Chain A
Amino acid sequence: MSEIESLSPRKQIWLRLKANRAALASMFLIGLLMITVLVAPWLSPFNGEDIDYEAIASEPSITTGHLFGTDSLGRDLFVRTMEGSRISLAIGLVATLVSLLIGINYGAIAGYFGGRVDAVMMRIVDILYAMPFMFFVILLMVFFGRNIFLIFFAIGAINWLDIARIVRGQTLAIKQQDYVEAARIYGASHWKIIQRHIVPNLLGIVVVYITLTIPQVILVESFLSFLGLGIQEPMTSLGALVSEGANEMESYSWTLIFPAVFLSIILFCFNFIGDGLRDALDPKQVK
C-alpha cells in the first residue's frame, strides 16, 4: 500500500497560498503598482507642483500629455497621484513598523515574565482597547500640529494592541517548551532568550499582521488627510487627493476617481493578501 509522503509545513503553506487566486492576483497587482509608483514620475515630463496654465482643470487626454488630466490649479494629476500613493505607502510601512516594534516587545515581555507583570500589562491593553483612538489621534493633530513624525507615531500607536496580544499568547506557549528551559539553565539572559528563541517563532504571524495592518494604517492616514488634519502641503497623500477631488467632483469628476481608485486598489489588495496569508498559515481557521 502506498504511503503518501507528508509535505513539509513550508511547502504546504506555499501550496495553499498558490491556490488562493485572489491573494495571488492581489500580490501581482500590488507589485505592479509599487513599481509604477516609483518609476512612472520619471517618465512624465511634468511634476506635481508646476502649474500648466494652458491646461487648467483639463480632462485626461493623451494630446496634452496629462494622462490623468489636471486639477483645478492646473497640476498634473498623474504625477500627483503617484506621489500621493508613494507617501501613503511609505506611511503605511513606517507606521506599521512602529506598531510592530511596540507590540512585539510589549507582548513578548508580558508573555515571558508572566504572573503579575503579565496580568498588569494585559489589563492595560484591555483598557486601551476600549478607547476611541481615532478621536485621540485627531486631538493630537489639533493640539500639536501636523508634524509628520507625530503622524507616524500616533498612527502606529493605534494598532499595536492586536499584535501585542498575539505575541504574548505565543510567548506563553513557547516559554513552556523544553529548549527554553535548557537555555535558561545554561545561563542565557532573559533578553537573549526572547531574541533567540521566541522571536523567530513569531515570523508567520508577524507577516500576516504586517499585511493586514498596512491597509489599516493607510486608511487612518487618508482619513486624517481627508479631514485636513494630516499631511501638509507640498506633500500630498491619496487621502488629501480624494478630499480635493470630492470638492470638485461635480465639475471635474476625474480628480476624484483616479486617486479614489488607486486608494481602493491598494487597500483591497493588501486585505486580500493578508487574508490569503492567514488562511495559508492556519487552514483550520474558518475561512
Chain B
Amino acid sequence: MKITLLLDIENMSVRFNTEQGVVHACRDVSFQLHEGEVLGVVGESGSGKTQLMLSLLQLLPENANINGVALYSDKDLLKLNRPDINQVRSNEIAMIFQDPMSSLNPYLKVSTQLTETLVLNQQIDKQTALKKAIEILEKVRIPDAATRIHDYPYQFSGGMRQRIMIAMALLRKPKILIADEPTTALDVTVQAEILALLKSLRDEFSLSIIFITHDMSIVAGQCDRVAVMYAGQTVEQAILDKLFYEPKHPYTQGLLAAAKSQSGLTDNLVSIPGQPPRNVGVQIGCAFYPRCDKRLDVCEQVTPVMSGSDIQQQACHLYD
C-alpha cells in the first residue's frame, strides 16, 4: 500500500534577531508527515517545536528569519503569498494551541468564532454555517450545543474550551491538524477525555496529525511515529515501537528514563542533569554534549547529522 507524503520539511532553520544576538530557534530540521499518520514531536520547552509549527503557517513575527523548504501539495508553504497562505490556513492545515482560555477571543461569542471562517472564506451563508457549527459542537460532546453556542468562552470550563478549539479546527475540514500541547493546561482527567476525543475523531475526519508534546506517555498512547527535538534540532526520528524499546540517542534514552521514573515504575526519580542551552549564537558540535553521559571527544567538535533508515534515524556520533 502506498502511503502518500503530505508534508515534507527539509532543512528548516528559524532565527530571531533579538537584543542579545541571533537566537536559533530551529536548526536544520527535517521530517515528513504521511497521510493518515500521527507524528509526535517531543522535546523540552525551548526545543523549538512550537516555533517550527508556527513558521509553517507563517505565523511568526516579522523579526523571524526562516530558511529551508516546507512542501505541502507541491507548494512551499514558507514562500506562499498572503492570499495563498490564508487559503491553506483556512482549509488545509489547522492548528490548536496550548491554552484554550487565552486562545479564544473573550469578547466574541463562540458562535461567531466558529462560523467566521465558513462565512468569510468558504462563502457559506450564516444559517448553514451556524447549523454546521452546532453539529460539530455535538460531535466534540459539548452538552446543549444549540443553546450554548451563543455563550462567551469564559462561560465554559477549560476542557470544554479545548473541545471548542478542536471543533473550530475540524469545522474547516483540514487535511492536517497541528496540535500544540493541547492538554498541557488541563487537569489530568480532562486530559484523558480530550485525548480520547482526538483519537475517535481522527478516523472520522481522516486527519493526519502533528502532535507536539513533552509528555512521553501521551506519545505512547497517540502517535505512530515520533520526532525528538533538542535545542532546535531533530535528534532522533523513529516509528513508535523502535523509539520506546530501542531508543538510540542518549537524549531520547534520558527522556524515557525520566518518564518511567515519574510514573512510578522505578524507585528513584531520574532526570537529565544540566540545563537546555540558550540557543544564542552559532553552535559547534553536538548541542547535547554538556549533558550526555555517553559522549565522545568528537562530539564536541563535529556536529552530528541524521543517519539511519526510514524506520529509525538519529543524529549521534555513537552510531556513525
Instruction: Tell me if A2 is interfacial: C-beta within 8 Å of chain B.
Output: yes
* Interface of B: prevailing SS: loop
A4 CB contact (under 8 Å) in B278, B285, B287: B278
How far, in whole Å, are A2 and B284 apart by their CA atoms in the complex?
9
A1 CB contact (under 8 Å) in B20, B21, B277: B277
Residue of B nearest to A7 (CB): B20
For the complex of A and B, list the 4 residue pairs with the smallest distance between their C-beta atoms, beginning with the closest: A1-B283, A4-B280, A2-B281, A1-B277
15 contacts between A and B (CB under 8 A): A1-B277, A1-B283, A1-B284, A1-B285, A1-B287, A1-B289, A1-B290, A2-B281, A3-B277, A3-B278, A4-B20, A4-B21, A4-B278, A4-B280, A4-B281
Which residues from chain A contact B290 at a C-beta distance below 8 Å? 1
How far, in whole Å, are A4 and B20 apart by their CA atoms in the complex?
9
Which residues from chain A contact B281 at a C-beta distance below 8 Å? 2, 4
What is the size category of the interface that chain B forms with chain A?
10 to 19
CB distance from B231 to the nearest CB of A (A): 8
How far, in whole Å, are A1 and B302 apart by their CA atoms in the complex?
11
Q: Mark A1-33, 1 if CB is under 8 A from B, else 0.
A: 111100000000000000000000000000000
How far, in whole Å, are A2 and B285 apart by their CA atoms in the complex?
11
How far, in whole Å, are A3 and B20 apart by their CA atoms in the complex?
12
> Which B residues lie at the A interface, using CB under 8 A?
20-21, 277-278, 280-281, 283-285, 287, 289-290
Which residues from chain A contact B285 at a C-beta distance below 8 Å? 1
How far, in whole Å, are A4 and B21 apart by their CA atoms in the complex?
10
Which residues from chain B contact A3 at a C-beta distance below 8 Å? 277-278
Which residues from chain A contact B287 at a C-beta distance below 8 Å? 1
> Which A residues lie at the B interface, using CB under 8 A?
1-4
CB distance from B137 to the nearest CB of A (A): 35
How far, in whole Å, are A4 and B278 apart by their CA atoms in the complex?
8
CB distance from A26 to the nearest CB of B (A): 22
How far, in whole Å, are A134 and B253 apart by their CA atoms in the complex?
70
CB distance from B24 to the nearest CB of A (A): 10
How far, in whole Å, are A3 and B290 apart by their CA atoms in the complex?
11
CB distance from A285 to the nearest CB of B (A): 16
CB distance from B236 to the nearest CB of A (A): 19
How far, in whole Å, are A2 and B278 apart by their CA atoms in the complex?
9
Which residues from chain A contact B280 at a C-beta distance below 8 Å? 4
How far, in whole Å, are A1 and B291 apart by their CA atoms in the complex?
12
Residue of A nearest to B20 (CB): A4
Which residues from chain B contact A2 at a C-beta distance below 8 Å? 281
CB distance from A111 to the nearest CB of B (A): 30
Residue of A nearest to B279 (CB): A1
Most chain B CB neighbours (cut-off 10 Å) among A1, A2, A3, A4: A1
How far, in whole Å, are A4 and B282 apart by their CA atoms in the complex?
11
CB distance from B213 to the nearest CB of A (A): 25
CB distance from B304 to the nearest CB of A (A): 13
Which residues from chain A contact B284 at a C-beta distance below 8 Å? 1
Which residues from chain A contact B289 at a C-beta distance below 8 Å? 1
CB distance from A35 to the nearest CB of B (A): 34
CB distance from A11 to the nearest CB of B (A): 12
Which residues from chain B contact A4 at a C-beta distance below 8 Å? 20-21, 278, 280-281
How far, in whole Å, are A4 and B289 apart by their CA atoms in the complex?
17
Given contacts A1-B287, A1-B289, A4-B20, 11 further A-B contacts (CB under 8 A): A1-B277, A1-B283, A1-B284, A1-B285, A1-B290, A2-B281, A3-B277, A3-B278, A4-B21, A4-B280, A4-B281
CB distance from A98 to the nearest CB of B (A): 39
Residue of A nearest to B288 (CB): A1
How far, in whole Å, are A3 and B280 apart by their CA atoms in the complex?
8
How far, in whole Å, are A167 and B63 apart by their CA atoms in the complex?
37
CB distance from A65 to the nearest CB of B (A): 52
Which residues from chain A contact B278 at a C-beta distance below 8 Å? 3-4
How far, in whole Å, are A3 and B281 apart by their CA atoms in the complex?
9
Most chain A CB neighbours (cut-off 10 Å) among B21, B278, B287, B289: B278
How far, in whole Å, are A1 and B21 apart by their CA atoms in the complex?
15
CB distance from A49 to the nearest CB of B (A): 54
Residue of A nearest to B280 (CB): A4
Residue of A nearest to B277 (CB): A1
Which residues from chain A contact B277 at a C-beta distance below 8 Å? 1, 3
Residue of A nearest to B283 (CB): A1
How far, in whole Å, are A253 and B316 apart by their CA atoms in the complex?
80
CB distance from A270 to the nearest CB of B (A): 26
Which residues from chain B contact A1 at a C-beta distance below 8 Å? 277, 283-285, 287, 289-290
How far, in whole Å, are A1 and B20 apart by their CA atoms in the complex?
16
CB distance from B276 to the nearest CB of A (A): 11
CB distance from A276 to the nearest CB of B (A): 16
CB distance from B234 to the nearest CB of A (A): 17
